Amino acid sequence: MTRPLKVPAKAGYHHANLRRALLDAAINHLRDAPVATLTVKQLARDAKVSPGAPYHHFKDRQELLAALATEGFERWIASASTVAAAPETPSNKLANLARAWLAFAAEHTPHYRVMFLSELADRQRFATMHAAAAQALELLVGVLREAMPDAADGRRAERAVIAWSTLHGFASLRMNGVLGNIPGVPELEALEDAAAASMARLVLDAADS
Amino acid sequence: MTRPLKVPAKAGYHHANLRRALLDAAINHLRDAPVATLTVKQLARDAKVSPGAPYHHFKDRQELLAALATEGFERWIASASTVAAAPETPSNKLANLARAWLAFAAEHTPHYRVMFLSELADRQRFATMHAAAAQALELLVGVLREAMPDAADGRRAERAVIAWSTLHGFASLRMNGVLGNIPGVPELEALEDAAAASMARLVLDAADS
DNA sequence: CGAGCAATCTGAGCGACTCTTAGATCGGTG
DNA sequence: CACCGATCTAAGAGTCGCTCAGATTGCTCG
């Protein structure tokens, strides 16, 4: 159970655990507001500390966002591991994993908002975050490995990226409100099922091609 | 050929066409920098006007971004229309459309960066942009309509969203540098083909299920 | 147990940014 | 050619990111 990345020593201080309080304030804010509106100063106000206090826990605003993203990847890995370890057929497992991803994006919108931010693309500066992201992909590849054991490694990785793209693309479009009430488009729930089903097909096709 | 949304009267003035100059400066900036780093003040400096001048052409920063996004959708619709009108089998047409999308995202990265921004999710405030976005989806649905003429309308729209998700997800992950040098993952070009192929399969499956 | 250290927080402040407003300046129209 | 409206400038109010000197606190270790 790897939940928080690092609990600072023994928790207590003036403000018990400011680092966590800031992250929680950020999560709360991002529930229904885009990342651009998130302000370090406001987080400090929420936590009832001075405007400079956050900078003792995060080098700058980007590192705070990166910490939140890392937490998001870790939580996803934790819940996805459960799905991956379930006694199911590889095909069902894959569909469940797809549904789990979309559910995660819906329930943890605040985290999801920062998990693929182009401001955090720097691999060296945000190494720990990218390590967690790579682990998340690795988990997806692992399930695909089970589902199509006869395919070549390259093809498996290729399918993993395509599948990831579908899930992320759908979650992203939905989160950004692009899919809202487009005439003729089915309910979003049905779309979740369709996305999951298309992932399963993605793998079945690979076995015999 | 609907290229710019609205040419201000007759072009000329002090600064010939500041509106266009600002958009071009924005495009230039976004070529290799995330949206968060884009500054109205800097655009004004680039265009050699005072910091307040841009606000006579755009109500605020968001409307400038929305104008850029609208332009992006319009350009995409223009180039996609060509693909959709080509004399090809529906299946090939679909694959070409998929490749065209990914090529568009790669070549027009600056526009693509703002085309699905959550800051611009408000449908009323950015009505013209969302209208253009809806038209883009409509075009995709149109090609799908040809490709699976026997399927129900709901199913077609469903496949359109899934296909769109795959394309947007892949373009987005690539643009944000998430796919860069992950070990075991094939070259990005091969992935483009795989994405296009998966789109074609998406439709073929729908015909007989 | 107590002195010192390191981590944490405050408060003030610098530079930059968004957006507003009053007024100058220009282009086109009647 | 006088005027009007569109465009631009200059200045400024309010906010934000981030820094820094100094105060405060918990922890460690002699």
pLDDT at A154 over 90: no
- Cβ proximity of B74 and B132 under 8 Å: yes
Residue type, B118: S
Residue B70 has what pLDDT?
98
Among B200, B183, B176, residue whose Cα is nearest residue B113: B176
Tens-digit pLDDT profile for residues A167-202: 999 999 999 988 876 666 677 788 888 888 888 888
A121 has pLDDT over 90: yes
| Mean pLDDT (chain B, rounded) | 87
Asked if A194 is an interface residue toward chain B (Cβ–Cβ < 8 A), one would say yes
Give me the residue from A117, A173, A205 closest to B165, CB to CB: A173
Instruction: Output the distance from A55 CA to C4 C1' rounded to whole Å.
Output: 25
- In the structure, what pLDDT confidence band is assigned to residue A6 with cuts at 50, 70 and 90? very low
Q: Record the tokens describing residue B80, joined without a space.
A: 């996609």
Distance CA A140, CA A202 (A): 13
Query: H or E segment at A147?
Result: helix A127-147
Chain A 152..171 CB hits on strand C (< 7 A): none
Chain A residue with CA closest to B202: the answer is A198
Q: How confident is the model at residue B3 (pLDDT cuts 50, 70, 90)?
A: very low
Distance A173 CA to D16 C1' (A): 29
Q: B72-96: per-residue pLDDT in tens?
A: 999 999 999 999 999 999 888 888 9
% of chain B beyond a pLDDT of 70: 89
DSSP state of B149: T
Contact B170 A169 (CB under 8 A): yes
pLDDT of residue A182: 66
Find the range with the poorest average confidence among A25-29, A80-84, A85-89, B148-152: B148-152
pLDDT at residue B200, rounded to an integer = 81
pLDDT digits (tens, 9 = 90+) for B91-143: 888 889 999 999 999 999 999 999 999 999 999 999 999 999 999 988 888 88
Nearest CB partner across the interface for B161, out of A118, A134, A179? A179
Spanning CA of B4 to C1' of D1, the rounded length in angstroms is 36
C-alpha distances out from residue A143 to A137, A160, B12, B66, Å: 10, 9, 61, 40
pLDDT of the residue at A149:
85
Cβ within 8 Å of residue A203, ≥6 positions away: A90, A91, A94, A144, A147, A148, A159, A163
* Residue tagged 């996004």 (tokens): B69
pLDDT at B9: 33
The tens digit of pLDDT for each residue in A134-148 reads 999 888 888 888 888
Residues of B in contact with A137 (CB under 8 A): 182
Average pLDDT over residues B151-173: 89
Show Cβ contacts of residue A58 under 8 Å, excluding neighbours closer than 6 positions. Answer: A19, A22, A64, A67
Q: A22-48: per-residue pLDDT in tens?
A: 999 999 999 999 999 999 999 999 999
Q: What's the mean pLDDT in B38-48?
A: 97
Residue A9 Cβ under 7 A from any strand C atom: yes
Assess contact for A118 and A56: CB atoms under 8 A.
no
Task: Specify the nucleotide whose C1' lies closest to residue A16 (CA).
Answer: C8
CA nearest B131 in A: which residue?
Answer: A182
User: In this predicted structure, what is the pLDDT of residue A13?
Assistant: 54
What pLDDT is recorded for position B142? Answer: 87
**How far apart, in Å, do the first and last CA atoms of chain A sit?**
39
Q: CB distance A191–B121 less than 8 Å?
A: no
User: Nearest CA of chain B to the CA of A184: how many Å?
Assistant: 7
Residue B67 has pLDDT above 70, yes or no: yes
Query: B192 and B123 in contact (C-beta within 8 Å)?
Result: no
The predicted pLDDT at position A206 comes to: 66
Could you tell me where the beta strands, DSSP code E, fall in chain A?
Answer: none
Of A164, A184, A185, the CB nearest to B173: A164
The verdict on a CB contact (< 8 Å) between B118 and A118 is no
A161 touches chain B (CB under 8 A): yes
- Confidence check: pLDDT of B196 > 60: yes
* B175 — pLDDT class (breaks 50, 70, 90): very high
| Minimal CA separation from B186 to chain A, in Å | 6
Mean pLDDT in residue range B164-187? 84
- Which domains occur in chain B, in start order? 67-207 (1.10.357.10)
Chain A interface disruption, residue of B62, B141, B158, B205, most A CBs within 10 A: B158
